Structure 1
Amino acid sequence: MTIQSISPVTGQVMESVETMSHAQADVALARADEIGPAWAKKTIDQRTALLARLGDGLRAGKETFAALITREMGKCIGEARAEIEKCAWLCDYYADTAAGFLADETIPTGAQRSYIHYQPLGCVLGIMPWNFPFWQVIRFASPAVTAGNTALLKHAPNVPNCARALEKLFLDAGYPVGVFQNLPVDVDAVSKLIEDDRVHAVTLTGSERAGSAVARQAGAALKKTVLELGGSDPFIVLDDADLDAAVKAAVNARFQANGQSCIAGKRFILDQRVAERFTERFKAAVESLELGDPMDPATRLGPMARKDLRDELHAQVEDALDKGARKVTGCEPVDGPGWFYRPSILADIRPGMRAWEEELFGPVASLITVANDDEALEVANASPYGLGGSLWTRDLQRGERLARQLESGGAYINTITKSDPRTPFGGIKRSGYGRELSYLGLREFVNIKTIWLA
C-alpha cells in the first residue's frame, strides 16, 4: 500500500510513499520500548538541551520546512514560515521552563516529608492532522519527550514528507534513535498500536469521528488519551465593538490556513445594531483576498488540502442555501486545476442547516444576527463544539462577563482565538478533552505520583 503526496494546487501526484508494514511498525515500537528506560533516566537538563537544539534546527531549516508545508497541504508560504517560527518558540519555552514544571512539589502534611513526583508514562502515540503539519507534531512531541517519554508519530497520509522531515529533525538535533519515530502506517495498524501494551498513552488532533474511535479503543485498553477535535468557534461582535479592528481580525480568524483551522472563527455572531455595517466591511475585505499559488508571497488564500474536503464543504454550503441562507459572496469552487474554493460568506444561518450544526472546515464564514448580549451567548453556546471563542467590545468588563460564560476551552476578548505555549489549550463537549501547552500540557503524559515519608 502507498501513501500519496498530492499537490493541492494542481491535483497531481508529487510522490508515492510505501506504508510501513505491521512487522516494520512492530520493530519501531520495540525500538521505542528498548530506548524508553534509558531516555527516562536522562536528567531534565540533558533533555531540555536537546530541545533547545531542536528549536535551533527548526529555525535553520525554516525556508525548507515552510516550502514543504506549502507544497503538501497548500498553506500560504508566509503562514507556513510563521508555523515553523512558532514551533521553535515552543521548543524555547519548554527548554526554559520544563525543569521547573517537572520539579518535585512539596505538599505540607503530617508526614516527615511528602511531595509530588512527575514520572514519564512511557511511549506516547500521536495521531496528527495535516492542517498544521509541523506545529501539531511539535506541540505534542516536544513536551512528551522532554518529560521523559518516547513518541510515535502517525501523521496524516497527505503530508508524508513533512512527517519524514520531522523525524530527521529530531535525529539531527541529537535525540537517540527510537525517542521520536515516524510511522507511515494504515488505519488498521493504528488500532493494533493502541492495543499494544508497549504504548502507554495516545493523543489525537483531528475529527470528531476519529477522536471517538481512538477514545473507544484506548478506553478498552485503559490508556490515557488527550483529544483535540473539531471546533465551530463563535466570533461575537457586540454593538460597541471597534468594527475596523473586528473586521481585520475576522478575515484572519476565518481564512488562516485557507479556512482549515480548528480554532478559526467560524460563526460570526453579530449584534443587530452593527450587523449591516460589519457585513459590508467584512464582504469588501473578503473579496479583496488574493486567491492563487500559495508559494507566491502575494497570495492571501491558497487551495484546500484535498478534493474530498472541498466537495464536503460545498455540500454544506448548498444545504444552507437550499434551506434559506443568503449568499453574501463566493460560495462556489473555482473551476480549473487544484482544489480552490472562493472565499465565502453565508448570512441568515439558523438551526436545521448543516452550517449551523456542523463545523465548516474551509474558507466559508457564517453570519448570525442577534438582538442582544444574552442571545449572542445563547447562540454561541448552542454548538455541540467548545474549543475557543472571541468577543469584540470596548467594554472589557462586559466582555469578561460574557467570556466567563462561554462554553469553551478558551475565550479571547478583542483578539482571535490562539494557541500560545504559555497558556493551556484544548476543548470541551465534542471538541475533546485534556490540555496541551503550558505546564498543564507538559504534565498530561506523566504519572503524578505521591511520595510520602513517615
Structure 2
Amino acid sequence: MPIQTVNPYTNKVVKTFEELTDDQLERKIAKAHKTYQSWRNTPLEARARLLQKVAELMREKKAELSRLITLEMGKLIAQSEAEIEMCASVYDYYAKNAAEFLKDRPMKVDSGKAFVRLTSTGIVLAVEPWNYPFNQVARLAAPNIVGGNVVVLKHASNVPQCAAMIEKLFKQAGAPDGVFTNLRIAAKRVAKLAEDQRITGMSLTGSEAAGASFAEAAGRNIKKSVLELGGSDAFIVLDDADIDLAVEKAIAGRFNNMGQACTSSKRLIVMEAVANTFLQKFKSKIENLKVGDPMDRAAQIGPLSSEEAAKKVVQQVTESVKQGAKILVGGKRIDRQGAFMEFTILTGIKPGMVAYDEEIFGPVASFYRVKTEQQAIELANATRFGLGGSVFSKDVERAVRVANQIDTGMVFINKNVASQPDLPFGGTKYSGYGRELSALGMEEFMNRKLIYVPQIEP
C-alpha cells in the first residue's frame, strides 16, 4: 500500500511519500537506542516538562492539526478539534501524575526491606491506526516517554502527514532527537523490526488479523506486547432507562467519527417494553442530517476514511440483507463524490449473519430486541470481542449488576464508552490485552524491579 494522503472527501491523492530505505531505518533505530541511554537518566521533572510543552503546542496549533486530521481521514472538523483537545489532556495528565505513578512501592516482608521500582526498558514500537491519528499515539507515547522509554512510531499509511507532525511537535517542544521517531515504512516491515533486540516493547491498535500477526512476531522474539483490537460493543437499554438520554448517547456512541471506532456502540440491545419508543426516536434523530464537506461546520455526515472503507461497509450491509437482515434506514452509498455512506440501522439480525458475527467499522447500528435482562446479557456476550459496553437504567445498582456479567474490559453506566486519561482502556477475548491510560497504562512497558535489602544481623 502506498504511503500517501488521499482526501476521502474528494478521493484525490494530495501527497505521496517515499518509504525509508533500510539504511535510513537502521540509522533511526540506532539513534533512538543511543538517545535512550541518556533519556532514561534524564530527571523526571525534565521529562514531564517535555510533555507539558507538547500539550501547549497542540493547543496553540489546534486549528492546523485539526485540519490535517480532517484532510487525511475525513473526520468532521469539530470532532478533529475535540481529538486534539483530548490528546493534549493525555500529555498533561501524565506530566502531572507521573511522579506519583512512579513512586517506589514498599513490600511487606518478614525481615529486611523490599520495594518495587518501575524502571524504563528501552525502545517501544507503536503501530497505530488512522481513526484517531493523534490521540492513539498520545496514549502510548505520553506514559512511556515520561517514564524514560523512547518511542518509534509506524503509523497507518493513510495519515503520513499526521505522523510526521507528531514527530515535529516533539522536536519543537525540545525533545532530543530519538525520543520520538516517526518511521515511514510499510506494515510488512514490522515483523523484521520485532527481531531487533534494541526494541523492547511492542504495542498495536488495529484489526484482529493485524493483532494476531503482531503478537506472533512479538512472542517469537520474547517481547512484551499490548494489543487493542476490534470491538462489537453492546449498548444495553433496560426497561427502566431514561430513553431520551439513551437515544442521545446511542447516536454519539455509534455515529461519532462516522462509526469508525473500536468502542463504537455497534449493537443496540433494547428491552421489548421500550424498544419501539427507543427505535422511533433513534431513527428520527438520524434522518435528514446534512451531508457535506467535513471542513464545513454545518456538515453532520462526512466521508468514511477511504473509498476502500466505504465499499467494505456497504458490502457487509448487503451481505447481511441477503442473509435476512432488514434495512430500516440507509444502507447505501451517498450519490456524490467521496467516500460517503448513509447512516444505517439494521434489524432482524440473527446468528450466522455478517452483521451478527463481524465488526462493522462504519455508520451502521445493529438493533436487537430482547424480552428480559438475562437475554440482554447473553446477547451482549455472544461475540468473540470484549472491548467495551454500556448499560442504561435509572437503577444504578441494577445497571452495575448487569455490567458485572458482561465479558468486556470496560462498561459504562448511562453513557457511551469513551476514552479519558484517568480511566484504563483495553479489552479481553479477541479485543486484545493490556491497558492504556491511567496508572495501569504507565506500567505496561516498565520493568517492575524488586529491590531487596536484607536485615543486617547484629
Q: Give the structure-1-normalised TM-score.
A: 0.99
SS in 2 for 1:336: coil
Instruction: Indicate the residue corresponding to 2:393 in structure 1.
Output: 393
State how far apart, in whole Å, the 2-side matches of 1:331 and 1:281 are: 19
1:74-100 C-alpha deviation (Å, 9 max, x unpaired): 000000000000011111111111011
- Whether 1:92 and 2:89 are equivalent positions in the alignment is no
State how far apart, in whole Å, the 1-side matches of 2:248 and 2:109 are: 53
For 1:381, give the aligned amino acid. Answer: N
State how far apart, in whole Å, the 1-side matches of 2:351 and 2:400 are: 27
1:36-77 C-alpha deviation (Å, 9 max, x unpaired): 110000121111111111111111111100000000000000
Instruction: Indicate the residue corresponding to 2:433 in structure 1.
Output: 433
Instruction: Indicate the residue corresponding to 1:172 in structure 2.
Output: 172
C-alpha displacement of 1:335: 2.1
Instruction: Indicate the residue corresponding to 2:57 in structure 1.
Output: 57
C-alpha displacement of 1:130: 0.1
Instruction: Indicate the residue corresponding to 1:192 in structure 2.
Output: 192
SS in 1 for 2:345: strand
When structure 1 is superposed on structure 2, of 359-368 and 288-297 the one drifting more is 288-297
Asked whether the 8 Å contact 1:303–1:340 carries over to 2, the reply is yes
C-alpha displacement of 1:254: 0.5
State how far apart, in whole Å, the 2-side matches of 1:36 and 1:5 are: 31
Instruction: Indicate the residue corresponding to 1:411 in structure 2.
Output: 411
Instruction: Indicate the residue corresponding to 2:254 in structure 1.
Output: 254
State how far apart, in whole Å, the 2-side matches of 1:434 and 1:201 are: 12
Instruction: Indicate the residue corresponding to 2:20 in structure 1.
Output: 20
Asked whether the 8 Å contact 1:9–1:337 carries over to 2, the reply is yes
Asked whether the 8 Å contact 1:350–1:368 carries over to 2, the reply is no
Instruction: Indicate the residue corresponding to 1:203 in structure 2.
Output: 203
State how far apart, in whole Å, the 2-side matches of 1:261 and 1:185 are: 24
1:297-343 C-alpha deviation (Å, 9 max, x unpaired): 11122101111111111111011111111111000011231100001
C-alpha displacement of 1:2: 4.6
Where in structure 1 do 4 or more consecutive aligned residues deviate above 2 Å?
none
Instruction: Indicate the residue corresponding to 1:450 in structure 2.
Output: 450
Structure 1 residues 108-187: aligned runs within 5 Å: 108-187=108-187
Asked whether the 8 Å contact 1:331–1:342 carries over to 2, the reply is yes
Q: Which runs of 5+ in 1 are unaligned?
A: none
Instruction: Indicate the residue corresponding to 1:68 in structure 2.
Output: 68
Instruction: Indicate the residue corresponding to 1:375 in structure 2.
Output: 375
SS in 1 for 2:367: strand
For 1:11, give the aligned amino acid. Answer: N
Asked whether the 8 Å contact 2:200–2:223 carries over to 1, the reply is yes
| Identical pairs, percent | 44
- Whether 1:281 and 2:281 are equivalent positions in the alignment is yes
State how far apart, in whole Å, the 2-side matches of 1:283 and 1:74 are: 24
State how far apart, in whole Å, the 1-side matches of 2:378 and 2:65 are: 42
C-alpha displacement of 1:288: 3.5
1:224-258 C-alpha deviation (Å, 9 max, x unpaired): 00000000000011111111111111111101111
State how far apart, in whole Å, the 2-side matches of 1:213 and 1:84 are: 30
Q: Give the structure-2-normalised TM-score.
A: 0.98
Instruction: Indicate the residue corresponding to 1:242 in structure 2.
Output: 242
1:423-446 C-alpha deviation (Å, 9 max, x unpaired): 111000010000000011011110
State how far apart, in whole Å, the 2-side matches of 1:99 and 1:46 are: 12
State how far apart, in whole Å, the 2-side matches of 1:218 and 1:108 are: 34
- Whether 1:423 and 2:418 are equivalent positions in the alignment is no
Q: Which runs of 5+ in 2 are unaligned?
A: none
State how far apart, in whole Å, the 1-side matches of 2:222 and 2:38 are: 25
Instruction: Indicate the residue corresponding to 1:43 in structure 2.
Output: 43
Asked whether the 8 Å contact 1:111–1:452 carries over to 2, the reply is no
